[in-house]
Chains A and B, each alone.
Chain A
Amino acid sequence: MLQGAYLTGFSVKDWADLLHAAAWPIVALIAIFRFHSVVESLLERLIRAEGLGVKVTLAKLDKELPKAEGEARRVRPQLPSVPRPGE
């Protein structure tokens, strides 16, 4: 094992450092997957408390409503057809 480690040019300490560096992100990912519902609900509560969702939606409406108001009046409807038996 030790011989193998030396063969790749890595010392035992290098392997240990590598594992140590990789361990934290792996632990964090496992934690996120395991507790994602808790994280989600915390984020949701934060957004609600700040009213962020509402503010974002209001900003979008602010931008798009004037254009929609103008476009609505320009709609050209077509006469619907008279349905025939067997259609």
Chain B
Amino acid sequence: MAVTVNFEQHLLEEAAASPTVAIMRLTLEIDRELRKLLAVTGRLGQYRGEMPEAIELLEMANGIKLPRELKDTLTQFWSLRNHVVHSQVSEHLALRALDYGLRILRMVKSIPRHSYVVVRADIPVYANSACRPPAREDVRGVMLETFSPEGEFMNKQVFPTTRTYLPGESVSWEWNRQNEKGWGPSWYQELDPDDSGKRTIKSAWGESLEFAGRNLNEI
């Protein structure tokens, strides 16, 4: 929330000098928020940057009909942004547009979403259920915890990846679909939190594509 307050404060200071520049910056921020929202639903790859289109993708991702007003307000703000940026409008109208834009930004941020947090990264994975070396050389495991929109823990899963992750990172739900084969059944060792010498063998996945989620702050 502190980031939002700082951003809004900075934007309002900027608007005093140039409302048009402030509107452009705000549009970019709304677009970024929409991208983050799409990133956790697995639909970011289909987004081409037209704001109202983002709502259609969210509907496809969630398999539900979203309220018409959500799409309408984004369409209207997009049209307003184009008026302010490409036409001569009074400063008063531009500032009103900015006020609506800030409300739309807060609205997009308030849309509930799941989150995926990296718990363990760079996990050696094995092609045999006894975890006999050697571990798979072309892939490692990344363990993700899924949280509900209310922040409740939902599940923990290991996925194959060739990317580097850090524990604690909040990541997007993205997959490398170019590697169509993925990897077959794999296992990993989990350390016992009470006894560091004790290891339990667990199934990582039956078959899976490569997880390619990005740090949400980089989207």
A: residues with CB less than 8 A from B are 48, 51, 53-55, 57-58, 60-61, 64-65, 67-69, 71-73, 75-80, 82-86
- Complex contact A85–B61 (CB within 8 A): no
- Complex contact B63–A78 (CB within 8 A): yes
In the complex with contacts A69-B107, A79-B146, A57-B112 CB distance below 8 A: no
Q: A77-B149, A78-B61, A84-B207 are in contact. List 15 more A-B contacts (CB 8 A).
A: A54-B83, A54-B89, A55-B93, A57-B79, A65-B100, A69-B106, A71-B69, A72-B111, A73-B112, A75-B62, A75-B111, A80-B42, A83-B177, A84-B182, A85-B182
Nearest opposing residue in chain A for B88, CB measure: A48
A-B contact pairs, 10 of them (CB 8 A): A58-B93, A58-B97, A60-B76, A65-B104, A67-B67, A69-B103, A75-B62, A76-B62, A77-B41, A84-B182
Q: How far is the CA of A61 from the CA of B106 in the complex (A)?
A: 15
Tell me the interface secondary structure of chain A in the complex.
helix
Q: How far is the CA of A69 from the CA of B96 in the complex (A)?
A: 17
- Complex contact A85–B104 (CB within 8 A): no
When each residue 65-94 of chain B gets 1 if its CB lies under 8 Å from chain A and 0 otherwise, what string results? 011011011001101100110011110010
- Complex contact B83–A57 (CB within 8 A): yes
Please indicate the chain B residues that have their CB under 8 angstroms from the CB of A67 in the complex. 67, 69
Q: Does B15 contact A (CB under 8 A)?
A: no
- 6 residue pairs, one from A and one from B, having the closest CB atoms: A71-B67, A68-B69, A85-B182, A80-B42, A68-B73, A72-B107
In the complex with contacts A75-B62, A77-B112, A85-B180, A64-B80 CB distance below 8 A: no
Please indicate the chain B residues that have their CB under 8 angstroms from the CB of A69 in the complex. 103, 106-107, 110
Please indicate the chain A residues that have their CB under 8 angstroms from the CB of B207 in the complex. 84-85
Q: How far is the CA of A79 from the CA of B154 in the complex (A)?
A: 10
Q: Does B209 contact A (CB under 8 A)?
A: yes
Tell me the interface secondary structure of chain B in the complex.
mixed
B interface residues, how many (CB within 8 angstroms): 51
In the complex with contacts A75-B62, A85-B180, A57-B107 CB distance below 8 A: no
Q: Does B108 contact A (CB under 8 A)?
A: yes
CB of A2 to closest CB in B, whole Å: 60
CB of B3 to closest CB in A, whole Å: 19
Please indicate the chain A residues that have their CB under 8 angstroms from the CB of B173 in the complex. 80
Q: Does B64 contact A (CB under 8 A)?
A: yes
CB of B118 to closest CB in A, whole Å: 16
Partner of A64, one of B62, B63, B76: B76
Q: How far is the CA of A65 from the CA of B67 in the complex (A)?
A: 12
Please indicate the chain B residues that have their CB under 8 angstroms from the CB of A60 in the complex. 72, 76
Q: How far is the CA of A85 from the CA of B41 in the complex (A)?
A: 19
Among A48, A54, A55, A76, residue most surrounded by chain B Cβ atoms (within 10 Å): A54
